[in-house]
């Protein structure tokens, strides 16, 4: 392929693991992917460090590691204030208030294809929200799209007796009020509007009329829906009144999980309406409108598969899997609809439901996992057959995953280790196990995010105490001790520790963590570590439903790469090879040109709530 003739289809299969693919292919269970293997069109795929989804897909799209594009972890920190930032969803302040800004500004294969005169389409690619409205690339964004409250997605439960809030749970439990026999009312809570020093939540009242022990009717706004116990409603639209004249449109689904003795409801996160978004959602506007009108409604949240609802027990295993089925089927139909008209250029679609399914079921339900790999195999077969039926002899089909998967048996409270080893010190008057209580004058190292460890450097951190000449020595000391750390099973808990200069290259390198901690299979940073906190013990057995993960050493979770035109010129492919493979050249003007964005002066409680709404934290 040359840049004078680009006709490339990228099917992104988030989290497809090479070990599972190879085992199932050998057993004849993946005939379509097996055909690629038989024609020397398959390889394990070296993924970026750290192997987090938003970082890996951005590296695949740019050919750069985090030192080039500036996304280093789900959680970044501001060295001037030690404040946490959401790398996927940074914010900026303007005269109109707080708004979202781009998670990175590095050029991608999609921009390069357009620059070279070809059309480009990107469906559900992570870290593409908010939309670049000036760009001719056709986009529907993936991971990183918030709900209408600016979070990464938390639903809401409703009960006659909501009880007191359990701080361990992310999901709010709201009140259902009896207003008659078999009749109840509740309030859906929308975004908050600032009135002076107060924040007032927009609300929308709904009414629930119970028919019998299996069914009810819900009336909300202009919508009237019949609910069957245990079954998801279809996607429906609602509108919150904001101010005197404006409406904020949203979409959601609801399930009634109990009728007797009193009903219980669970709503998915209130999501951006793709045709009425308060923030730049997709490009161009006509593309998403055509998709919606031609293919039907679809959930817009970047993480629509509600792992939090499942983890906290608001929905059942089967309801979660039904939700994932629905999301996949809708996106498959949209993918095939647009693929039929794909005559030249670059067309990519990321399917991410398997990632969420594996987080929740890889450990305990191999039957569920195998069924999803077969589903992906069928999808690839459909795409290949469609290309043949259209006579697209030059069509290059690339199937790629951003990482593999493994069990997550032990949570590691990395800040606990730093505290125990004397690298992190607390103010004596406050015993809270959090960086909010750090004595920065004596703290030499601290951890935030899932793989990041920082030195408290003089001249960089506002209260740094480690001099530049001590930094390299301290990094080597930390690496040596971390690699010697043994877990409860007496095995190595950390497989790899990379220095900043080893892990990254490019103009953003200096903004990255000083050390990248690559956990061994079975281990991962705790959610508390991600938010700069810790518990009393270094290790904690993971009994969560979320029983598998990938945010560990990248060599332990390689991805997969398939190509129908073979991989002869790419004997050891990695994310760096994707531009050449997809568009026949590297992306020009390589690297981001500005420092990684932050959350500005946004209230840290709001930022931490946004971070906690992500399943990993």
Q: How many domains does the chain have?
A: 3
Q: Is 422 exposed, middle or buried (0-12, 13-18, 19+ CB in 10 A)?
A: exposed
Confidence at residue 214, expressed as pLDDT on a 0 to 100 scale: 96
What is the number of residues in the chain?
A: 617
Is the CB of residue 44 less than 8 Å from the CB of residue 25?
no
Residues 286 and 142 in one domain: yes
Rounded CA gap, 553 and 311, in Å? Answer: 25
380, pLDDT greater than 70: yes
- Residue 42 belongs to domain with CATH number: 3.40.720.10
Asked if residue 433 belongs to a domain, the reply is yes
Answer yes or no: is 87 within a domain: no
Q: Check whether residue 187 and residue 128 sit in a common domain.
A: no
Same domain, 582 and 522: no
**Region label for 23, one of left (φ > 0), alpha (ψ between -120 and 50) or beta (otherwise):** alpha
pLDDT at 257: 96
Considering the domain boundaries, does residue 607 fall inside one? no
Same domain? 518 vs 436? yes
Assess whether 389 and 421 both reside in one domain.
Answer: no
- Please check the confidence at residue 182 and state whether its pLDDT lies above 70: yes
Q: Which of 510, 528, 547 is the last residue of a domain?
A: 547
Q: Note whether residue 512 is domain-resident.
A: yes
Is residue 382 in some structural domain? yes
In a domain, 321, yes or no: yes
**Among residues of the chain, what percentage have pLDDT more than 70?**
96
Instruction: Flag whether 322 is in a domain.
Output: yes
At residue 13, the pLDDT reads 98
Residue 194 belongs to what domain range? 156-267
Q: What is the pLDDT of residues 7-44, one digit of tens each?
A: 999 999 999 999 999 999 999 999 999 999 999 999 99
Three-class HEC string of 537-550: CCEEECCCCCCEEC
Confidence of residue 600 (pLDDT cuts 50, 70, 90): low
Q: Where are the beta strands (DSSP E) in 422-570?
A: 445-448, 452-455, 494-499, 515-519, 522-525, 539-541, 548-549, 559-563
Region 61-72 average pLDDT: 96
Q: Is 2 domain-assigned?
A: no
Q: What is the mean pLDDT of residues 513-529?
A: 98
**CA separation for the pair 362, 364 (Å, rounded):** 6
Q: Are residues 497 and 570 in the same domain?
A: no
CA dist., res. 147 & res. 149, Å (int): 5
CATH number, position 429: 3.30.1360
Rounded CA separation 354/372 (Å): 7
Residue 286 sits in the same domain as residue 330: yes
Residue that is last in its domain, among 205, 236, 267: 267
Average pLDDT over residues 459-477: 96
Residues 207-225 have pLDDT tens digits of 999 999 999 999 999 899 9
Please tell me whether residues 487 and 531 are part of one structural domain.
yes
Q: Are residues 160 and 137 in the same domain?
A: no
Same domain, 476 and 446: yes
Asked if 178 and 301 sit in the same domain, the reply is: no
Mean pLDDT of 527-548: 97
> Would you say the C-alpha torsion 47, 493, 359, 18 has a positive or negative sign?
positive
Residues 122 and 177 in one domain: no
Please identify, among 221, 236, 267, the residue that sits at the C-terminal boundary of a domain: 267
pTM of the model: 0.95
pLDDT of 591 reads 57
SS (H, E, C) 73-129: CCEEEECCCCEEEECCCCEEEECCEEEECCCCCCCCHHHHHHHCCCCEEEEEECCCC
């Amino acid at each position: 392929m040359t840049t004078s003739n680009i006709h490339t289809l990228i099917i992104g299969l988030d989290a497809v693991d090479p070990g599972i693919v190879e085992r199932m292919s050998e057993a004849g269970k993946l005939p379509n992917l097996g055909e690629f293997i038989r024609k020397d069109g398959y390889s394990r795929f070296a993924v970026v460090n750290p192997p987090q989804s938003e970082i890996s897909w951005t590296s695949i799209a740019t050919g750069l590691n985090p030192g080039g594009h500036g996304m280093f972890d789900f959680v970044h920190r501001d060295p001037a204030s030690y404040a946490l930032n959401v790398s996927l969803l940074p914010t900026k302040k303007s005269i109109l208030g707080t708004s979202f800004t781009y998670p990175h500004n590095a050029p991608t294969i999609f921009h390069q294809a357009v620059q070279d005169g070809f059309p480009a389409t990107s469906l559900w690619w992570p870290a593409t929200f908010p939309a670049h409205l000036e760009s001719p690339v056709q986009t529907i964004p993936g991971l990183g799209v918030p709900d209408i409250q600016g979070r990464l997605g938390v639903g809401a439960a409703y009960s006659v007796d909501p009880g007191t809030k359990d701080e361990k749970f992310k999901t709010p439990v709201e009140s259902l009020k009896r207003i008659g026999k078999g009749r109840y009312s509740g309030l859906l809570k929308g975004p908050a509007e600032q009135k002076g020093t107060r924040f007032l939540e927009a609300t929308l009242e709904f009414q629930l009329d119970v028919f019998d022990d299996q069914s009810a009717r819900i009336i909300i706004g202009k919508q009237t829906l019949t609910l069957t116990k245990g079954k998801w409603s279809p996607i429906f639209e609602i509108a919150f009144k904001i101010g005197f004249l404006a409406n904020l449109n949203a979409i959601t689904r609801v399930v009634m999980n109990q009728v007797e003795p009193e009903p219980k409801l669970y709503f998915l996160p209130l999501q951006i309406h793709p045709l009425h978004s308060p923030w730049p959602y997709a490009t161009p506007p006509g593309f998403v409108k055509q998709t919606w009108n031609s293919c039907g409604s679809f959930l817009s949240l970047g993480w629509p598969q509600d792992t939090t609802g499942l983890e906290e027990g608001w929905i059942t295993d089967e309801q979660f899997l039904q939700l994932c089925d629905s999301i996949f089927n809708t996106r498959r139909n949209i993918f095939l609809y647009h693929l039929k008209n794909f005559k030249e250029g670059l067309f990519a679609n990321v399917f991410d439901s398997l990632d969420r399914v594996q987080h929740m079921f890889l450990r305990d339900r191999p039957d569920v996992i195998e069924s999803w790999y077969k589903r992906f195999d069928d999808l690839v077969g459909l795409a290949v057959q469609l290309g043949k039926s259209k006579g697209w002899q030059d069509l290059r089909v690339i199937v790629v995953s951003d990482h593999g998967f493994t069990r997550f048996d032990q949570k590691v409270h990395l800040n606990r280790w730093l505290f125990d080893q004397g690298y992190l010190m607390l103010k004596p008057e406050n015993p809270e196990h959090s960086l909010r209580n750090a004595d920065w004058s004596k703290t030499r190292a601290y951890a935030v995010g899932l793989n990041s460890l920082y030195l408290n450097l003089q001249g960089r951190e506002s209260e740094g105490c480690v001099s530049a000449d001590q930094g390299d020595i301290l990094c080597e000391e930390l690496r040596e001790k971390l690699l010697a750390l043994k877990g409860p099973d007496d095995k190595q808990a950390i497989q790899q520790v990379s220095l900043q200069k080893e892990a990254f290259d490019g103009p953003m390198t200096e903004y990255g963590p000083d050390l990248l901690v690559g956990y061994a299979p079975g281990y991962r940073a705790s959610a508390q570590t991600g938010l700069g906190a810790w518990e009393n013990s270094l290790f904690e057995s993971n009994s969560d439903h979320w029983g598998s993960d990938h945010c560990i050493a990248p060599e332990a979770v390689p991805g997969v790469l398939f190509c129908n035109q073979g991989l002869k010129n790419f004997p050891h492919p990695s994310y760096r090879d994707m531009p050449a493979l997809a568009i026949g050249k590297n992306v020009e003007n390589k690297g981001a040109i500005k420092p990684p964005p932050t959350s500005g002066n946004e209230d840290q409680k709001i930022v931490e709530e946004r971070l906690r709404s992500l399943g990993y934290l």
